[in-house]
Amino acid sequence: MLALNYSEYEFECGTDEAGRGCLAGPVTAAAVILPKTFKNSILNDSKQLSEKKRDLLKPIIELEAVSYSVAHVFPDKIDEINILNASIHAMQLAIAKLKPKPEFISVDGNRFKPYLDIPHETIIKGDGKYLNIAAASILAKTYRDIYMNMIHEEFPMYNWKQNKGYPTKEHRAAIKKYGPTKYHRLSFRLLPVQLKLEV
């Protein structure tokens, strides 16, 4: 059973991101403040759960959270500031939209930058330890999947509905055949031998 929070603060938010390793689409972060009374036996790290369970948990989190928020950072910004900074930026954008303002931030992973004057802690594999980070991981993943399904309609040949922008063999083969789109991260190695991009 996961613990609810890392700290003793009433308004602690958990934050996590999805899509860091993708070749296309945004990096998406969520921030969630759960009430002290929150309990859920299914909720876990989004990577440990099936799509069906994530889709089941999304409305429960949204209904029961004190506050939640989601933010996308898109490929042009990722290319400009790099994926690590973009991931942190996405988390901070999500945190900024929370009401009430969190008193403490629990971050999944080992990298973060101080945000305002709010104390924070980075927790490796935090999404498998604390419910508020697990909840953020579910929202980040489900909202990103919704976005990838949407842009799949525009460029179905990359099959983002299935691979969500991750570097599968099929995705790389489509990039090789059709070239990159406006949704691809041009600073990433899109093919094992990088295409020369006309700038």
Return the SS3 of 52: helix
pLDDT tens across the length of the chain (199 residues): 899 999 999 999 999 999 999 999 999 999 999 999 999 999 998 889 999 999 999 999 999 999 999 999 999 999 999 999 999 999 999 999 999 999 999 999 999 999 999 999 999 999 999 999 999 999 999 999 999 999 999 999 999 999 999 999 999 999 999 999 999 999 998 987 655 555 5
| Structural domains present in the chain | 12-178 (3.30.420.10)
What SS3 state is found at 13? strand
Letter for the amino acid at 107?
V
Enter the tokens of residue 118: 């709010």
Buried b / exposed e over 44-66, threshold 16 CB at 10 Å, is: bbbeebeeeebeebbeebeebbb
The DSSP output letter for 196 is P
- Token pair for residue 186? 């041009």
